[in-house]
Structure 1
Amino acid sequence: MVESRVSDTLGSVNRAMSFLELLAENDGLTVTQVADRLGTGKATAFRLAKTLVERGWVEKDEELRYRLGPGLLSLAPALQLGQDIRHRLRPIMDDLYDQTQETIHLTVLQGRYVTYVEQLVSPKPVHSVSKLGSRSPAHCVSPGLAQLAALPDDALDWVLAVPLRRYTERSLTDPADVRAELQRVRSRGYAVNCGAFRAEVGGVGAAVLDPRGKPIAALSVCMPLYRMSEMDLDGIGALLVSATTDAQRGLRVL
């Protein structure tokens, strides 16, 4: 039974990879054409397409043809942030940890989500923890907002082109509200989240930018929401802006 489920999962992954390779070789295919070339039923091809569209790795045009989507480009930062770069940013994360005694995250933007690639957990009895490799919606967390604020207009338009999910009463779901918040992020240089994803967790984040001003990562300080009201958020924001500037110098992207 277990072997059967594993085999089914691997088969689905293989079909998804074949789907992407097929689109890379062809300029737009209908679901029928995809099914024929993959040797699957239309229902299977449609489910694959739906999943990949949701990820942003595939997009569907007005003629119902599927093409590779811009979400694939967001995988590049994750490749760039390999072990060497995480190692080089670790001293900066250590400094933030020492100064705040809160959980420090290093994340990369992938499509409409941020992925956690490194973490230093607060020594305080009550603290926030994220599983490495897990994802959070970019529009609801500080490292996500910080990176969205640095995206070019067309990339941001793509992120906001789908309905934004509400996770808590503080989640921003209207694209106009998100854009207004991103303008505030640009003005002060860092983002603040007060329980928009997990109701009792907040944080402050700032983006690490490449030479063109595009985000390649973000550093953030994460804490229980009840402690945020007692903290100097502007001071933490200033620490993060300084830290990301140092990170950019260290990565030689300035």
Structure 2
Amino acid sequence: MDRAVSMIEALAPNDRLSATQLSELLETGKATAFRLARTLVARGWLVQNDDRSYQLGPGLLGLAGGSAGPDLGAELRPLLADLRDRTGETIHLTRLDGRHVVYLEQLMSPQSVLSVAMIGSRSPAHCVSPGLAQLAHLSPERLAWVLSAPPERFTENTLTDPALLREELARVRDRGYAINVGGYRPDVGGVGSAVIDVEGNAIAGLSVCVPVYRLHRLDVHDLGELLRATAVDAARRVELAG
């Protein structure tokens, strides 16, 4: 752990470093530095470039971003409650962390059949609606990193082809919301929208999580417009709180 922290600290003030440079800074063998870097790359905390040098990765940057700014759960809870009351479904607030979303807040549906998540748990971003909504606003470089690992298939509805996933993210970005129908769990779907800051970055995702059999009865586009408008309101609240 100490060496992992030291490697991250060595890279923080530098754009990129080679395995040889890292081994010199850490005063360790090149093979040891390479193994440690490979482990951090697998976690998304480092990225290996085409020239085999290393730099800080989106996974680490996501962790750093989650510790700053206002308490999103407390700040946005009134909006989440309004969404829950208007839809009668479970509402989630999430944050993108590398290739996953982390669940920050949950307001559960009052209905007897409902979909729930554990606060602090993670879901693959490419197959849930709040993940797709936030991925749609990544920079080309960060999206390329996300898609550099083959997206895992969980159900027959999981979108795993990188080209098709890029096309779907473009549609999500244009309309302002994402739709998931059983992409992660076959009986669970939802609609999600990203909360975008003044610089155009997705800082959170709002979503309505619905059992698929009930989702088919809803107008998902009306639901998407409601999520999109609420996400705009959420961005204003976050900006004022900041």
TM-score of the alignment, normalized to the shorter chain, above 0.5:
yes
> Unpaired segments of 5 or more residues in structure 2?
none
Where do residues 238-249 of structure 1 align in structure 2 (5 Å cutoff)? 238-249=225-236
Give the Cα–Cα distance (whole angstroms) in 1 for the partners of residues 204 and 23 of structure 2: 35
Partner of 1:159 in structure 2? Answer: 146
Partner residue, 2:111? 124
1:40-51 to structure 2, matched below 5 A, reads: 42=31, 45-51=33-39
Secondary structure of 2:239 counterpart: coil
Q: Tell me the distance in 1 between the aligned counterparts of 2:173 and 2:49.
A: 32
SS of alignment partner, residue 251 of structure 1: helix
One-letter identity of the residue aligned with 2:19: T
Matches within 5 A, 1:187-226: 187-226=174-213
Q: CA deviation at 1:109?
A: 0.9
- Structure 2 CA distance for aligned equivalents of residues 30 and 69 of structure 1: 16
Q: Residues 34 and 101 (structure 1 numbering): CA distance in 2 closer, same or farther, change over 3 Å? A: farther
Q: 1:246 to 1:61 in 2, by over 3 A?
A: closer
Say which is worse superposed, 217-226 or 71-80, in terms of deviation: 71-80
Shift of 1:39: 5.1
**Is 1:66 matched with 2:73?**
no
Residue pair 1:23, 1:29 contacting (<8 A) in 2 also: no
**What corresponds to 1:92 in structure 2?**
79
Aligned to 2:67: 79
Alignment equivalent of 2:8, drawn from 20, 25, 38: 20
Taking a change above 3 Å as real, the CA distance of residues 178 and 81 of structure 1, as seen in their structure-2 partners, is farther
**CA distance change for structure 1 residues 36 and 89 in 2, over 3 Å: closer, same or farther?**
closer
Within 2, Cα distance between the matches of 1:77 and 1:239? Answer: 27
Identity %: 51
TM-superposed deviation, 1:128: 1.2
Question: Which amino acid in the other structure matches residue 104 of structure 1?
Answer: I
In structure 2, relative to structure 1, the CA distance for the partners of 1:39 and 1:152 (3 Å cut) is closer
Asked if the contact 2:83/2:91 (under 8 Å) is kept, the reply is yes
Structure 2 partner of 1:180: 167
Kept in 2, the 8 Å contact 1:151–1:214? The answer is yes
**CA-CA distance at 1:31 after TM superposition:** 6.9
Which residue of structure 2 lines up, in the alignment, with residue 5 of structure 1?
none
Q: Deviations over 1:157-203 (max 9, x none)?
A: 22222211111111111111111111221232110001111111111
Q: Distance in 2 between matches of 1:154 and 1:36?
A: 27
Call closer, same or farther: CA 1:65–1:252 in 2, change over 3 Å.
closer
Contact kept? 2:19, 2:34, Cα under 8 Å: no
Residue 99 of structure 1 deviates from its aligned partner by: 0.8
Cα separation, partners in 2 of 1:36 and 1:42, compared to 1, 3 Å: farther
Equivalent position of 1:52 in the other structure: 40
Q: Distance in 1 between matches of 2:185 and 2:102?
A: 16
TM-score by length of 2: 0.88
Q: Gapped runs of 5+ residues in structure 1?
A: 1-12
Which deviations, in whole Å up to 9, do the C-alpha atoms of 1:199-245 show, x marking residues without a partner? Answer: 11111000000112221111000011111111121221121111111
Query: What is the distance in 2 between the residues matched to 1:63 and 1:115?
Result: 32
CA deviations on 1:76-115 (whole Å, 9 max, x unpaired) are 43123553x3211000000001011211110111111111
3-state SS of 1:170 partner: coil
Q: RMSD of the TM alignment (CA)?
A: 2.4
Equivalent residue, structure 1, for 2:238 = 251
